[in-house]
Each structure stands twice: as C-alpha cells, then as structure tokens.
Structure 1
Amino acid sequence: MTPVTWALVGVGALLLVSLLVMYNRFVRQRTLVDESWGGIDVELTRRHDLIPQLVDTVKGYAAHEQALLTRLVEAREAATSHHTDSPAHRQGYEDSLGGALQQLLARVEAYPDLEASESFLALQDELTNTEDRIAASRRFYNGNVRAYNTRVRTFPSNLVAAVFRFRPREFFELREAVRPPVAG
C-alpha cells in the first residue's frame, strides 16, 4: 500500500471513530435528559399526592371555600392525567395546579384556626419542601436540555444529530413556585 492509501485509511478510521464518539455522547446526553425529567416527574407527583390531604384539611375549617377546593381538585386531576405528556404540554396543567394551590394558600390567612392547625402546618411545610425540590429538579433538567440542544445544533455534531435523528428537547418552566403567604 502506498502512503496515500495509508493516509486515506487513517483519515477514514479517524472519521469513523469520531462518528462513534459523537453518537455515543448523544445517547449519554439524551439518557441524562430523560433521567432528569424523571426527577421532575417524581417531585410533581409528590405535589399531586399532597393535594388531597391539603383539601381534606382545609375542608374541615373552610367549608364555604368549596368552589376553590373543587378547582384545585380538578386542576390536580388534569395534571395527573397528563403526566406522560411532553414538558411543554404538561407545563400548562402544572401552572394551573400551581395557581389554584397558591390561591388556596392565600385564602387560608382568613382562617386563623386553620393556620394554627398542626396538620395544616405540616402539609404546608411539606409543600414548601416539595416546591424547592421541583425547582432544583427543573434547573438540573433544563441544564441537561441546554447542553444536549447545544450539541444537536452545533457543527459538526449537528451532522451526526441529523443522520441519527437526535432532535432538540423542550425546556420545562413553571410560572412560579407555590409558596405559602408570609405572615406579617
């Protein structure tokens, strides 16, 4: 074999190795994005599971807030039934749930007995912790999506992405975290 042939074989081997490395990196990043979405899903499910307990606790103290409690339960059911949707589609349901939950927590101020209830305070604390975990999971997920999307869109890895159909992923944002009103 001539030196030119060896050079062509070497370049071909180098291109093949580069292609394999890029492909494997895409697979690892996509898996990381999927795994981090699972973390968000776990925390959102935890929030969904707290809603019935919160509704039952509030019912005992604020029976005439029935319309708000019904709205909260309906928002929870909608969010729960769409848990397999894409992040962008699921975002609207989670925002509706968060809005209803925030409205309920704001109305609780009118019920001093409820605000002093140990079970309500424990639920409120658990909800605050869950919201913090949702925010942390969201940041982790969105960071992984940003890194993956950057790789999908930049040269030369965008060529590999196009050939193997690696598509950009959606970010997941919520309007704002649900927070109990600050006593003052």
Structure 2
Amino acid sequence: MSTAIPQWMYPPRDTGWEADDLDLLPPDAPRHIELLDGALIFNTSPRRSWRDRMIRRLTAALEKAVPPGWTVEAQMTIKLNHRSRPEPDIIAARVPYAPDRTRFLPDEVELIVEIVSAESEDRDRRYKPRLYAEAGLRHFWRIEDEAGLPVVHTYELDDTTGCYVATGVHRDRLSTPVPFAIDIELAVLAH
C-alpha cells in the first residue's frame, strides 16, 4: 500500500485551493470533498444508515413541497465565496433542475439542511452556519439524531445582525410556511 500523497491533493497555487478548483479534480478523487476557507475536507468516514435515510427521505419530501421551478439536491456543493464551497446534505434552490450543474450560488439557494453526524458535528453546529449566514442564505435547518428519531432545528437569517435566529425545534412534526409550505411527520423519515 502506497503512502505517497497523490499529486492532485497539493494546492494548485501558493495561495491555496479556490472554489472553482473542485471542478478540476480527477475522476479518481473522493466524491464528497468540501472546501472550507481554502482547506479541503474529505467526507470519507463510514456513513450511518440513519443519516443516509434522512437525506434520501427528506430530499423526497422537500421535492414534493417546493414551488414549481425550484430544485432540491442532496450532497451538492454551494460556492459561498472564492475560498469556500461546502457540501450541505440538502439544498432547496429557486432555480430549475440542470443536469450538468456541479454547484449552486448563494443567490439561488433558499434552504440549507445539515444532518449532524459524529465526524461533522462541530462543522454542522458551529462553523458552517456562520459561513452560510455570512453568505446571506435565508434558511438553515440542522437535524440531530435523538434516540433514533430526527429533531429538526430551524433557523432564519436576521437582517439586522447577519446571524441566524432559532425559529423552532421540531420533534414530532415539521410544519412551517417558510421558505415554502411544508408539513412532515418526522418519525416517517426514520422508519
């Protein structure tokens, strides 16, 4: 087994990685790579079945609820600035589906969803919400596993402070009119 670092992993310039560089990675690069403040983050740890189920089922529920002309994507990056391109678990955007899309831009995105896992909890709870707020993303949901059931923490961007404010903690049912009307029994997502 070789321990040599592949050439593509070295930053392409002295200033480090930039968001557009992710589109230039070779086909053999890991699929889930994020760029946070110029640093590559590899999401290669084993995925729990619970988290995968949340992503699939919530994506399907959101696809049914979004207004016409919107799209919902799972595990697609969003270019926040030239040095940050995170990969949220789910994005709902006010743009139609585009089969060749490799990323979204902040002015297209209305909702970001992060499903917390052991390896991402600090990024999902502290770091990424700050980046999303700074980019002006209006709605952020964080989903936690509470004894096998999803708990959805909803946030909305406060224009005065430029920070997210909590708008609810949903355990049994997620019912909200923003960013679009949705009503989901949360236990259905887990079972």
Tell me if both proteins adopt one fold, taking TM over 0.5 as the criterion.
no
Q: Which structure features the higher share of strand residues?
A: 2
Q: TM-score, normalised by structure 1?
A: 0.27
Q: TM-score, normalised by structure 2?
A: 0.26
Larger radius of gyration: 1
Which structure has more RCO (C-alpha within 8 Å, separation ≥ 6)? 1
Q: Which structure features the higher share of helix residues?
A: 1
